[in-house]
């Protein structure tokens, strides 16, 4: 009996020492707190990745809408025919382009600040929506008014340009009526400042309610202490006025 107890004690000791040895050989987990992505950016559900280096948030997206569109190929599960009226009562007239996958990388300031010199928004992507679709400014190709292209907006008020890059110039109807709401966070512009829908505190905003850059400073659900933010409105310039409020980051494609 004594030998059996001695044997069992030896077995337990061996197991304990083995556990210690195994534990000491495992790498120590490390956490890079500077690369932690704040929760607000995790709302960009349509991105292929969202990372941070502590200075910039990097958002990668393929710019494929998660909603139906007449601009998808007819064999795509998200293809849906469309006719009738589109944004602002325009009679829909399909443009010749089709949606295709993109490789877009947005690099925006983690802590945006007002710029000393406000740069004009460029043609092409000026920001990214929460479903990964780029925002474009109020101009159509060649710098003409986007009203020249509104007839080509699909059932969710977006369309692709000639390289197949789907985008929104105006209110992203799918986000404001299905996925989120008209007062919700809809994305970010390249300067890192957030974009919200056309309603705030029960009021539908118009351009006259906003500053030159189509925004203002106020508290929001995501920023209860207040932050400068843009609003989408039904009247021109729809999303952005005379340039970025902050210093813009970059977008590569």
Tell me what pLDDT residue 200 has.
98
Q: With 60 as the cut, is the pLDDT of residue 15 above it?
A: no
Is pLDDT larger for residue 30 or for residue 46?
46
Q: Is 2 among the domain residues?
A: no
Tell me what pLDDT residue 182 has.
98
Range of the domain at 64: 32-252
Cβ atoms of 228 and 174 closer than 8 Å: no
Q: Backbone dihedral region of 247: left (phi > 0), alpha (psi from -120 to 50 degrees) or beta?
A: beta
Q: With 60 as the cut, is the pLDDT of residue 20 above it?
A: no
Q: Is 63 among the domain residues?
A: yes
Task: State the Cα–Cα distance between residues 155 and 92, nearest whole angstrom.
Answer: 9
Q: Is 75 among the domain residues?
A: yes
Query: Which of 137, 139, 127, 165 is CA-nearest to residue 249?
Result: 127
Residues 220-250: b if buried by 16+ CB within 10 A, e if exposed: bebeeeebbbbbbbeeebbbbbebbbbbbbe
**Digit-coded pLDDT (tens) for 41-100:** 999 999 999 999 999 999 999 999 999 999 999 999 999 999 999 999 999 999 999 999
Q: With 60 as the cut, is the pLDDT of residue 206 above it?
A: yes
Tokens of 140: 């159509």
Helix H or strand E segment including 20: helix 2-25
**Digit-coded pLDDT (tens) for 103-161:** 999 999 999 999 999 999 999 999 999 999 999 999 998 889 999 999 999 999 999 99
* Band of residue 28 on the pLDDT scale cut at 50, 70, 90: very low
The 3 state secondary structure assigned to 94-161 is CCCCCCCCCCEEEEEECCCCECCCCCCCCCCCCEEECCCCEECCCECHHHCEHHHCHHHCCCCCCEEC
Tell me what pLDDT residue 34 has.
38
Tell me what pLDDT residue 216 has.
98
Q: Which residues contact 117 (CB under 8 A, 6 or more apart)?
A: none
* Band of residue 22 on the pLDDT scale cut at 50, 70, 90: very low
Cβ atoms of 201 and 173 closer than 8 Å: no
Task: State the Cα–Cα distance between residues 228 and 219, nearest whole angstrom.
Answer: 9
* Band of residue 35 on the pLDDT scale cut at 50, 70, 90: low
Tell me what pLDDT residue 110 has.
97
Q: Is 230 among the domain residues?
A: yes
Q: Is 37 exposed, middle or buried (0-12, 13-18, 19+ CB in 10 A)?
A: middle
Q: Is 208 among the domain residues?
A: yes
Q: Is 175 among the domain residues?
A: yes
Least confident of 16-25, 104-113, 156-165, 224-233: 16-25
Tell me what pLDDT residue 32 has.
29
Mean pLDDT of 22-49: 64
Tell me what pLDDT residue 19 has.
36
Number of structural domains in the chain: 1
* Band of residue 6 on the pLDDT scale cut at 50, 70, 90: very low
Q: Is 197 among the domain residues?
A: yes
Q: Is 160 among the domain residues?
A: yes
* Band of residue 219 on the pLDDT scale cut at 50, 70, 90: very high
**Digit-coded pLDDT (tens) for 159-198:** 999 999 999 999 999 999 999 999 999 999 999 999 999 9
């Amino acid at each position: 009996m004594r030998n059996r107890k001695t044997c069992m004690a030896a077995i337990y000791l061996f197991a304990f020492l083995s556990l210690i040895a195994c534990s000491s050989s495992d790498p120590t987990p490390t956490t890079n707190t500077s690369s932690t992505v704040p929760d607000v950016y995790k709302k960009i559900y349509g991105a292929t990745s969202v990372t941070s280096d502590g200075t910039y948030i990097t958002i990668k997206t393929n710019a494929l809408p998660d909603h139906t569109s007449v601009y998808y190929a007819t064999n795509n599960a998200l293809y849906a025919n469309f006719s009738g009226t589109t944004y602002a009562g325009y009679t829909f007239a399909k443009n010749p382009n089709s949606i295709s996958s993109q490789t877009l990388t947005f690099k925006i300031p983690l802590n945006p600040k007002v710029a000393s010199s406000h740069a004009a928004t460029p043609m092409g992507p000026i920001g990214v929506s929460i479903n990964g679709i780029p925002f474009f400014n109020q101009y159509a190709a060649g710098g003409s008014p986007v009203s020249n292209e509104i007839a080509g907006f699909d059932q969710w008020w977006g369309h692709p340009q000639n390289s197949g890059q789907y985008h929104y110039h105006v209110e992203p109807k799918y986000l404001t009526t299905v996925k989120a709401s008209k007062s919700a966070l809809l994305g970010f512009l390249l300067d890192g400042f957030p974009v919200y829908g056309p309603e705030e505190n029960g009021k539908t905003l118009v351009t006259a309610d906003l500053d030159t850059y189509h925004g203002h400073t106020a508290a929001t659900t995501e920023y209860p202490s207040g932050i400068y933010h843009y609003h989408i409105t039904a009247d021109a310039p729809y999303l952005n006025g005379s340039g970025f409020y902050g210093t813009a980051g970059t977008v590569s494609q």
